[in-house]
Structure 1
Amino acid sequence: MKIATYNVNGVNGRLPVLLRWLEETKPDVACLQELKAPQEKFPEQAIRDAGYHAIWHGQKSWNGVAILSKTAEIKEIRRGLPGDEEDLHSRYIEAQVNGITIGCLYLPNGNPAPGPKFDYKLGWFQRLTVHAAELLASGQQVVLTGDYNVMPTELDVYKPERWVDDALFRPETRAAFKKLVEQGWTDAIRKLYPMDQIYTFWDYFRNAYGRDAGLRIDHFLLSPNISNQLVAAGVNRNVRGWEKTSDHAPVWIELKAK
């Protein structure tokens, strides 16, 4: 089973890129972030024509997450992260696909930091951590994936000294990610490539992609009862080089059957 995550940075504006990627790589499940489209503007028909079922949680101009499945039924569990009824951001959607619980998330950026946006980021991280613990306790096989907006270590960022004050790399952010992982989750990319320099995002400015001045901020966390099924993982780095593409590249994992 191949599961991918992709921050599309505008699902309608970059629909040709998304459809080309789906056709070329054919993931069984694709989790999308930053749809930047209200619920009624999601390109459902184009996604269906590409061979995928979809559920999505849209929001006008900002945020937005979706889960696509090529063959298996998508059984939606929840939309929205629990813990704050006043949080109306479309940043989380959760479903069961082929017996696996998949949480697709778009964690807040948090800049400028310190400030209200950074406080919101850390609060959201705390809510995710509480919910993740409940998922682990349930005994389900769980994959939590998406744009976490955090570089966990210096290996995950080009020239880390330039990022020390950024919300994606501040000690509080990295500590929050570490606390989450230490519940028992496996960082899929790091399990297979513990010391490799792997990036998933390159800014549009200063030829970042050409210089390979990137960040690793899109992650797969696997529950203990599914991590031993991980057989492959990688980044579709070439997609970042396509015309009118997102500033993120798709990330994928492959799980063997039990």
Structure 2
Amino acid sequence: MKIATWNVNSIRTRLGHVVDWLSQNHVDVLCMQETKVVDEKFPCAAFEQLGYHLYLSGQKAYNGVAIASREPLEDVSRGFTPILLDVQPDWDEQKRVITGVIHGIRIVNLYVPNGSAVGSEKYEYKLGWLTVLQEYLRSLLLSSPAICMCGDFNIALEDNDIHNSVSTENHIMASEAERQALRDILLLGFADAFRKFTSEGGHYSWWDYRAVSFRRNLGWRIDHHYLTPNLYERAKSCTIDVAPRKLAQPSDHTPVIVEF
């Protein structure tokens, strides 16, 4: 089984890129983030023609997550509130979480808030959101021991996940508070699939549109697959496909694929 994650940065803008990629890369599941469209206007037909079932949680112009799966998913839910019944509904106003089960594997597709700038209101929201995510995952683990948590985390956990011309001190997506929040989540029993196979730096999943960052490989690895122990042992590979980032008008992110 192959599961891919890709921040598509507007599915309607990038539809041709995504459909072409799926036609050439026969993944079983594609988790998309930043779809930026309400569910009623999601271009479902293009995916259905390729044989995918779609599960959506979108909003106009911002955020949005979706899962395209070759086989129907079970136990699909959107947001934190179906799992955390006592959580404030405000945490689900932004569409950032969708989950479902395929062949006993629970896939959790996430679009973690960016945070804007260290110390800002959006930064504090990000840290609060990650705290809620930790409790959400803790609840899921009670009934789902096999979890693939993937998506755009907007956090580079280690310095070798970032090109070396960046000073990480108090830098958004690399501040110590963000990293610690993610470490606390991983302590629930998750491991980084990519680092099982690749230890060196220089491998990235996001490049800023500015300063010809992609051509200079000034990237960040912020799109991840985190696996529970049983899935981590079963993982055969985890790769970053940079080809879509080379296209005209690409997403600033590129797909990351884990295979079991």
Normalised TM-score (structure 1): 0.95
Residue of structure 1 in register with 2:224 after alignment: 219
2:89 matched to 1:85?
yes
* Cα distance between partner residues in 2 of 1:81 and 1:164: 31
2:77 partner letter: R
CA contact (8 A) 1:111 1:166 kept: no
| 1:194-213 matches, cutoff 5 A | 194-213=199-218
Q: Please, which moves more after superposition, 161-170 or 138-147?
A: 161-170
Residue of structure 2 in register with 1:140 after alignment: 145
Moved over 4 A (4+): none
CA shift for structure 1 position 139: 4.4
Provide the alpha-carbon RMSD of the alignment.
1.3
Residue of structure 1 in register with 2:163 after alignment: 158
CA shift for structure 1 position 200: 0.3
CA shift for structure 1 position 77: 2.6
Share of identical aligned residues, percent? 35
Normalised TM-score (structure 2): 0.94
CA contact (8 A) 2:163 2:220 kept: yes
Q: Please, which moves more after superposition, 158-167 or 217-226?
A: 158-167
Residue of structure 2 in register with 1:7 after alignment: 7
1:77 partner letter: V
CA contact (8 A) 1:136 1:223 kept: no
CA shift for structure 1 position 161: 4.0
Q: Do the aligned partners of residues 65 and 112 (structure 1) sit closer, same or farther apart at CA in structure 2, a change above 3 Å counting?
A: same
- Residue by residue over 1:189-241, the C-alpha shift from the partner in whole angstroms, topping out at 9 and shown as x without a partner, is 01111234310001111110000000000000101122111001100111110
Residue of structure 2 in register with 1:37 after alignment: 37
Instruction: List gaps (5 residues or longer) in structure 2.
Output: 82-86
1:210 partner letter: R
* Cα distance between partner residues in 2 of 1:44 and 1:143: 24
* Cα distance between partner residues in 1 of 2:165 and 2:54: 37
CA contact (8 A) 2:107 2:147 kept: yes
CA contact (8 A) 2:106 2:144 kept: no
CA contact (8 A) 1:184 1:224 kept: yes
| 1:1-258 matches, cutoff 5 A | 1-70=1-70, 72-82=71-81, 83-87=87-91, 88-159=93-164, 161-255=166-260
Q: Do the aligned partners of residues 110 and 161 (structure 1) sit closer, same or farther apart at CA in structure 2, a change above 3 Å counting?
A: same
* Cα distance between partner residues in 1 of 2:203 and 2:133: 25
- Residue by residue over 1:74-121, the C-alpha shift from the partner in whole angstroms, topping out at 9 and shown as x without a partner, is 124310124331130000001112221101000000012212100110
Paired residues, number? 254
